[in-house]
Amino acid sequence: MTARTGSSTMHIGELAERTGLSLRTIRHYDEVGLLPATARTGGGFRVYSEDDFERLMVIKQMKPLGFSLEEMAEILSILSSREGADRPEADKARLAEFLEEAVHQRAKMARNLAQADEFISRLNRDS
């Protein structure tokens, strides 16, 4: 299998460098089907496209919000299918549920960060 012609491609090391993720993490996402390589070289090396890079950045954004691998796959599938008015109502409703969960998780993270800031301030005052 060869890379798509006309598109910029990169090997896993460059993808890791651009995203700040480890090779192991990217390979794991490939193995579980979240980020299958666009192609493989004759030698079996993974080759990724700019679309793969964008997909990985979405995965990276979802990860701290606590979405499971299955939820991430579902979100990615919905996002890659159709957009806006062309998206089926069931998909729109599902994305709304995911949005609600993301907002909830972000608020929880903000509370935890505020508590950490308070603790750091306490340590600074007492040291």
Domain ranges of the chain: 9-126
Q: Are 73 and 34 in contact (CB under 8 A)?
A: yes
Q: Specify the pTM.
A: 0.82
* Alpha-carbon gap, residue 21 to 42, rounded angstroms: 25
More confident residue, 83 or 40: 40
Q: Tokens 């949005």 identify what position?
A: 99
More confident residue, 85 or 98: 98
Residue-wise over 70-90: b if at least 16 C-beta within 10 A, else e?
ebbebbbebeeeeeeeeeeee
* Alpha-carbon gap, residue 122 to 119, rounded angstroms: 5
pLDDT of residue 4: 39
Task: Tell me which architecture the domain covering 9-126 has in CATH.
Answer: Orthogonal Bundle (1.10)
Residue 123, number of CB atoms within 10 A of its CB: 9
Residues 89-110: tens digit of each pLDDT: 999 999 999 999 999 999 999 9
Residues 24-82: tens digit of each pLDDT: 999 999 999 999 988 888 888 889 999 999 999 999 999 999 999 999 999 999 998 87
pLDDT of residue 98: 98
